[in-house]
Amino acid sequence: MRLTDKTAVITGAARGLGRATALACAAEGADLVLLDVCADLVGVPYPLGSPGQLDHTANLCRAAGSAVLTAAVDIRDTASVREAVAAGYGRFGRIDVVVNNAGIAAPSGKRVHEIGEEEWALMIDIDLSGAWRMIREVGRAMCAQRSGSIVNIASTAGLVGYRHFAGYVAAKHGVIGLTKAAALDYAPMKVRVNAVCPGSVRDDTSAEGRMLAEIARALDVQVGEHEQAFTEAQPMNALIEPEDVAAAVVYLASDDSRQVTGSVLTVDGGFTAR
C-alpha cells in the first residue's frame, strides 16, 4: 500500500486515464480528490466527462477503501481550481500528490496555418495552462510541508512531432518544459515534479476512454479500424493499456521514487526510441 496516509488530487478523473489512475491510487491506499469538468466545452468537438462518470469513478474508489471528494472543475478557471484545492485541504488536511491528467486532443487535424486563434488558445489553456494552475495552487503548501509529488500527464507528442496536431504537440512539449522548471524550483523543498508520456492508449470500455478514437477522427482514420492502425505503429505491436500508465503514475507518486524529479517517463511501447 504505497500511498497509505496520502491524499491525491487527480484532474480529468471521470473516465479514461483519469479513472484508471484513480483506481490504481485507491488500490495503494490513497484518499482522493477527483476533479473533472463534468460538462462539454465550446470548441471541443466531442463529449467530455460527465457528472455520472465522475460519480462512478468515485464509487469504484470508495469500494476499494478510499475516502473520496469530488468536484466539477474547469481548469481554465483559476477560481474554480482554487476552490477545489481548498476543499481538498479542508476535507483531508493535506495534499501529497497531484496528477495533472485533464486534457483534450481536439480541435486538431489541421495544418499550422489553418488553426484559428480560438482553437490554439483553447488547446494551450487546457492542456498546458491547466497544469500550471494546479501546480500554482498546491505549490506553496507542498513547499511548507516539505514534501509532495506532482505528476504531469504529457504524451509522446511532448517528445516528437505529429502532423496536423501542432496545438497539441506544442502544449505537451510545454508540459515537459513546465515539469523540468518546476522540479528545479521545488527540489530544495523536497517537492518532486515528473511527467509521464503515454503512447497510443487503448480506449478501454471499463474506463470509458475515448481519446484514441478522437485522435483517429482528427487524422481521418476510420474508427473501427483505428486500433489496428495505431498498433502497427508500435514497436511492441500492442496498444498501451490505461493500467500501464496508471502504474507509472503510482510509482512517481510514491516514496519509491523519492529521488526522482524532473524526469520524463515514457510508457509508449518503444515508440519514441526510434
Q: Point out the residues that are catalytic.
A: 168
Alpha-carbon distance of 268 to 245, in angstroms, equals 9
pTM: 0.95
Q: How far is CA 175 from CA 112, 130, 172, in A?
A: 20, 10, 5
Decide: helix, strand or coil at residue 100.
strand
- Listed residue (42, 37, 43, 41) closest to 15, CA to CA: 37
Decide: helix, strand or coil at residue 125.
helix
pLDDT in tens, the chain (274 residues): 999 999 999 999 999 999 999 999 999 999 999 999 999 999 999 999 999 999 999 999 999 999 999 999 999 999 999 999 999 999 999 999 999 999 999 999 999 999 999 999 999 999 999 999 999 999 999 999 999 999 999 999 999 999 999 999 999 999 999 999 999 999 999 999 999 999 988 888 777 777 777 787 777 777 676 788 788 888 998 999 999 999 999 999 999 999 999 999 999 999 999 8
